[in-house]
Amino acid sequence: MAMGSSKKARNRLADRKGAPREVELKLEIAAGAVGRLLDHPLVAGAQPDQDQSGHLSAVYFDTPDLDLRKSGLSLRIRRRNGSSVQTIKAEDKSRGLALDRSEWEQAVDNGLDFGAAAGTPLARLIAKKGVRDSIRPVFGIETERRAFKVEHDGALVELALDDAAATAGGSTARFAELELELKQGAPAALFRLAHDLARTAPLRLAPVTKSERGYGLLGREAPAPIRAQDIDIDADASCAEAFQIIARSCLSQMIANESVLRRMPDPEALHQMRVGLRRLRAAMSLFRKMLAGQETESVKQGLRWVGRKLGPARDLDVLLGNLREAAGSPDADNAIEDTERRRLKAYAVLQKALDSPRYMGAILETAAWIEAGQWLGHEKRTSRPARKHAAKELSQRHRKILREAKHLEELQDDERHQLRIRIKKMRYGTEFFASLFERKKARKRRKAMLKGLEHLQDLLGEMNDIAVGSAMVPSLAQSDPERAEQRLAKLLSKAVAAAHDLPDAKPFWK
């Protein structure tokens, strides 16, 4: 569950009838960095929490079909110093940068206590025929924990350094992570604390639970690219609330696909990570006046660096796809072989970048800025109704796109590329603000507008791919220049027709 979300989201929390909450931030610790974290003044001067430290042995339970996992639940028994505690956790479907979960704990003696599930989502699940009797251990996690109580920015935080190993069947995965669990205060304090700690040791923002690591070992959850989630903003949300909801979603998309990319060179994961980055930068553009400041410029600079590191491998993925469509000629076949070699090298370079302290710092800085940035102090701007701001911003962008699209035939390659970027930002804005304009007429108009914008963007994208591909493999374009010109002319003709139709789609925000 994202922190500080809209009124609608806060009402969902209230509907849970007082279920205990666990709000925590998880970070992966870079190899060899644990000692540096222990030496950080905030940790070195913190009060050790002996009650939470020591060896933890946890067994997680599920059915053979993983019914609990599919329902967003986890069930475990954790043993420490001879005592056992059963814990049920329920994930919110709209997870943000910090983990916010309902949690129910019960001391147990001999195995599972299903009576303790009363009043929890697990009770409904185990009431189904055959589910309760089929629940069994599925994996275990052994953890050596060093815990501390840290006071920071008016909040009390339990800081836990975990050296852990998950085991399922014959597979074991070791990992080290830092958990920051909020005991008192505002969730934003978790991000400020993480940002301070990251100045001493490389930390990777990783909203992944221990149970997810265990399930990953079962071999049924191959890492898969993550697409953008729908944005849900309440109609009376402020600009600050709206931006945080949007920005969390974009950064979460980046982080999730980064995790896939660090395991394998997946073109779709790279594409979706880049989409997440572009959506985030579009969101920053849509709220640019509210976010203005030196801290924001630092975040922008970090994100631009990330974008530059993602670009080369993605460009080669696109080029390779286009070359394979044209396979058959000697020039195309030679270009495919050369491009494949270049692509592998580009992914190797990207992998190093994702593992670098600079990348980890840029992502963590961005997360801290979203949750607790100085921009939040601009009360006059942040308190403005998001709906009013969205209508004005979309109107201005829409008018500019229509003006430029009228003269599409006269635009040069770089000018068409800039128009395509403006259309993409307009599309993102339309998707971001969709929930603010939910009447039937608005939905119908929005669908029509998105269809037209997407069609023109795709055509301009194909034209840009040709221009980029020709620059990357000049010999291919030179081998059949007439064919390349014909394809560009055909695409331009279609784009002009699509641009001509844009004014027919009426603004959905009016």
Residue 87 amino acid letter = T
pTM: 0.84
Q: Provide the residue-wise pLDDT of the chain in tens; the chain has 510 residues.
A: 333 333 333 333 333 345 666 788 899 997 778 889 999 999 999 999 998 999 999 999 999 999 999 999 999 999 998 999 999 999 765 556 776 778 999 999 989 999 999 999 999 999 998 999 999 999 999 999 999 999 998 999 999 999 999 999 889 999 999 999 999 998 888 888 998 898 888 899 886 789 989 998 987 666 789 999 999 999 999 999 999 999 999 999 999 999 999 989 999 999 999 999 999 999 999 999 999 999 999 999 999 999 999 999 999 998 888 888 766 666 677 888 899 999 999 999 999 999 998 999 999 999 989 988 999 998 999 999 999 999 999 999 999 999 999 999 999 988 999 999 999 999 999 999 999 999 999 999 999 999 999 999 999 988 887 777 666 666 555 556 677 788 889 999 999 999 999 999 999 998
Segments making up each domain of the chain, as ranges: 7-221, 239-384, 385-510
Q: Over the stretch 165-213, which tens digit does the pLDDT of each residue have?
A: 999 988 999 999 999 999 999 888 888 899 889 888 889 988 678 998 9
**Average pLDDT, rounded, for the chain:** 89
- In eight-state DSSP terms, residue 212 is H
Give phi and psi for 315, each to the nearest 5: -60, -40
For domain 239-384, which architecture applies?
Alpha solenoid (1.40)
Q: In 3D, which of 438, 405, 410 has the Cα closest to residue 423?
A: 405
SS3 for 59?
Answer: strand
Q: Spell out the SS3 assignment of 227-273.
A: CCCCCCCCCCCEHHHHHHHHHHHHHHHHHHHHHHHCCCCCHHHHHHH
Burial (CB count within 10 angstroms: exposed 0-12, middle 13-18, buried 19+), residue 123: middle
Q: What is the spatial distance between Cα 160 and Cα 148, in angstroms, rounded to a whole number?
A: 6
* Count of other CB atoms within 10 angstroms of residue 387: 20
d(CA 260, CA 98): 19
7-221 belongs to which homologous superfamily? Hypothetical Protein Pfu-838710-001 (2.40.320.10)
